[in-house]
Amino acid sequence: MRPCTRARWPRARGGRAGTAWSFDTAEDRWWHAQLAKLVEGLKALADERTGLLSTGTAPGHGWGIPRRLELVREVNERSLDSPEARARWDDALASIPDECPWYARVSLTPQFGLCQGTGYQRA
């Protein structure tokens, strides 16, 4: 990119002084516009209330990544890792050959998100 010059413009909405850029070539203007979009996108991503890197909720995307990770860890604990979940799985897997003979020869394993105490009911 070639050097650019800065030009002042009237105060922007909100009372802050704005800065406009002028460039020698259309290519330089294009690159500046792309980088400005990238910076705005990064600011939105990191926004503490609505960014995807926050524990908030992002419009159009839902929960932020830390909140999603927290949910996955909780579901993993409830459905696989806790002693209660392991006991429920042991009970369910042991009962399948007796209650469902078609699955007697199938090797089943505990599944993430299943058997949280609400779905499987032993008769």
Q: Which domain holds residue 30?
A: 5-63
Q: Is residue 24 in a domain?
A: yes
Q: Is residue 89 in a domain?
A: no
Task: Tell whether the model's pLDDT for residue 17 goes beyond 50.
Answer: yes
Q: Has this prediction a pTM greater than 0.75?
A: no
Closest CA to 118 of 78, 72, 70, 71: 78
Task: Tell whether the model's pLDDT for residue 118 goes beyond 50.
Answer: no
Instruction: Give residue 69's pLDDT.
Output: 94
Q: What is the pLDDT of residues 35-90, one digit of tens each?
A: 999 999 999 999 988 999 988 888 888 999 999 999 999 999 988 999 999 999 99
Q: Is residue 40 in a domain?
A: yes
What total of structural domains would you count in the chain? 1
Residues 109, 89 contacting (CB under 8 angstroms):
no
Task: Tell whether the model's pLDDT for residue 15 goes beyond 80.
Answer: no
Q: Is residue 117 in a domain?
A: no
